[in-house]
């Protein structure tokens, strides 16, 4: 008895997309890249810098390395270090995590550097707090709203080009932990907030008044996790110079000094 199942069209599409998105020598998922970005910030950024170019002769995001050629070379160097140099062995890092860093580097290499140069960080700060009204959602070193992501060390976490992209097209890449949720209780007005957690029966959010709130899903008329960004695009709101100033300010946000 031969039994054939109809092939799910959406699965076929995913496969084609996956094979079309070949990066360097390995294929990496968006999750790999995201995880790798976090690993990079935690383990690499203090020496290599957010642009990956703080070590002479090395430009990680341009694919310029002193010794590594292949992805496997990079993994090996991350884990074992380079004896006699300042590159320490990440002895506690497993291969899978090291490989996510490679995913992040390869992904970043595919994005050209920001063209918004010549910005002034002080002017950017004024824009952030004034015309841009960024502090109505974002917090920097203790002031501003907790509704959106805290940007106190965003300059350590994101490259200038990524910050530029976020300002111009904020909906392009919302991380899962920055998703908003809209809930409509059976009684009372709808509430929008940043999703903090959810399970089968409840969800937790921080609302626009910075209240930590839990909703019982059975008591809701409706709720949806919003994939788009709540942040407006600044493409037509700020001039090119103002955008450069803003990026310059954001790049300057390095968080508290760390040892």
Partner 1 sequence: MKRFVLLVVSIASLSAQVTFDRILNAGKEPQNWLTYSGGTSSQRHSTLTQITPDNVKNLELQWIFQSRSLERYEATPLVVDGVMYTVQNPDDVLALDAATGRVYWTYNYQLSPDARPCCGRLSRGLAILGDTLFIGTIDAHVVALDAKSGKPLWNAQVGDPEKGYAITHAPLIVKDKVIVGMAGGEYGIRGYILGLDAKTGKEAWRFYTIPGPGEPGHESWAGDSWQHGGASVWVTGSYDPESNLTFWGIGNPGPDWNGDTRGGDNLYACSVVALDADTGKLKWYYQFSPHDEFDYDAVQVPVLADIDWQGRPRKVMMWANRNGLFYVLDRTTGQFLSGKPFVKVNWMNGFDERGRPMKLASAASSKTGTLIFPGNQGGTNWYSPSFSPHTGLFYIPAWDNYSSLYVKQDQDFVEGRTFGGGGPRPTGPATKTGVQNFRGDEDIYGAVRAIDPKTGEKKWEFKMADVTEAGILTTASDVLFTGGHEGYFFALDARNGKLLWKSSLGGEVRSGPMTFMVNGRQYVAVDAGNSLFVWALRQ
**Chosen residue from 7, 91, 189, 236 binding partner 1 by CB under 8 A:** 7
Return the number of the residue (18 or 122) whose C-beta is nearest partner 1. Answer: 18
Least distance to partner 1, CB of residue 113, Å = 27
CA dihedral defined by 186, 190, 191, 197, rounded to 10 degrees?
A: 40
How far is C-alpha 27 from the chain's CA centre?
19
175 φψ region: left (φ > 0), alpha (ψ -120 to 50), beta (else)? beta
DSSP 8-state assignment for residue 21: T
The reply on whether position 212 binds partner 1 by CB under 8 A is no
Task: List Cβ neighbours of 84 (8 Å cut-off, separation of 6 or more).
Answer: none
**Spatial separation of the C-alpha atoms in residues 205 and 18, rounded to whole Å:** 33
- The Cα–Cα gap between 81 and 91 comes to 9
For position 15 contacting partner 1 by CB under 8 A, the verdict is yes
Nearer residue to partner 1 within complex by CB, 122 or 225: 225
| All residues at 6 or more sequence positions from 11 whose CB lies less than 8 Å from its CB, including other chains | none
Mask: binding to partner 1, 31-70, rule CB under 8 A, as x and -? Answer: xx--x-----------------------------------
- 215 forms part of the interface with partner 1 (CB under 8 A): no
- Which of 119, 108, 111 has its CA nearest to residue 252? 119
According to the binding rule CB under 8 A, does residue 78 interact with partner 1? Answer: no
> Is 172 a residue that touches partner 1 (CB under 8 A)?
no
5 binds partner 1 (CB under 8 A): yes
- Report in angstroms how near the CB of residue 193 gets to partner 1 at its nearest: 13
The answer to whether the beta carbons of residues 248 and 194 sit under 8 Å apart is no
Under the criterion CB under 8 A, does residue 28 sit at the interface with partner 1? yes
How many Å apart are CA 196 and CA 213, to the nearest integer? 9
What is d(CA 101, CA 75) in angstroms, rounded to the nearest whole number? 8
The interface mask with partner 1, positions 138-157, x = CB under 8 A, is --------------------
CB of 16 to partner 1, least distance (A): 10
Q: In terms of CB distance, is 95 or 131 closer to partner 1?
A: 95
Binding partner 1 (rule: CB under 8 A), the pick from 20, 200, 257, 258 is 200
Q: Which residues make Cβ contacts (< 8 Å) with residue 179, sequence separation at least 6?
A: 194, 195, 225, 226, 227
Question: Which span (4-12, 123-131, 157-165, 232-240) binds partner 1, by CB under 8 A?
Answer: 4-12
- Residue 79 interacts with partner 1 (CB under 8 A)? no
Q: Which residues lie near partner 1 (CB under 8 A)?
A: 1-5, 7-8, 11, 14-15, 18, 22, 25-32, 35, 95-96, 99, 176-177, 179, 195-201, 224-225, 227
């Amino acid at each position: 008895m031969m039994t054939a199942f109809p092939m799910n069209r959406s699965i076929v599409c995913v496969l084609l997309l996956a094979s079309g998105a070949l990066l360097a020598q390995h294929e990496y998922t968006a999750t790999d890249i995201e995880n790798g970005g976090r690993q990079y910030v935690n383990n690499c950024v203090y020496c290599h810098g957010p642009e990956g170019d703080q070590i002479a002769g090395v430009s990680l995001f341009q694919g310029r390395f002193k010794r590594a050629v292949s992805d496997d070379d990079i993994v090996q160097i991350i884990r074992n270090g380079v004896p006699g140099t300042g590159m320490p062995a990440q002895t506690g890092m497993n291969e899978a995590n090291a490989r996510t860093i490679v995913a992040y580097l390869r992904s970043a290499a595919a994005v050209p550097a920001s063209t918004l140069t010549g910005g002034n960080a002080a002017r950017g700060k004024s824009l952030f707090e004034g015309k841009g009204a960024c502090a109505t959602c974002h917090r920097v070193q203790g002031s501003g709203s907790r509704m959106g992501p805290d940007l106190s060390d965003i300059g350590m976490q994101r490259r200038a080009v990524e910050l530029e992209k976020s300002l111009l097209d904020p909906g392009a890449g919302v991380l899962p932990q920055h998703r908003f949720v809209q809930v409509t209780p059976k009684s009372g007005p709808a509430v929008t907030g940043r999703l903090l957690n959810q399970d089968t029966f409840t969800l937790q959010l921080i609302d626009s008044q910075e209240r930590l709130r839990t909703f019982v899903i059975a008591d809701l008329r409706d709720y949806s996790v919003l994939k788009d960004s709540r942040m407006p695009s600044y493409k037509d709101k700020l001039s090119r110079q103002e955008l450069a100033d803003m990026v310059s300010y954001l790049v300057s946000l390095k968080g508290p000094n760390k040892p």
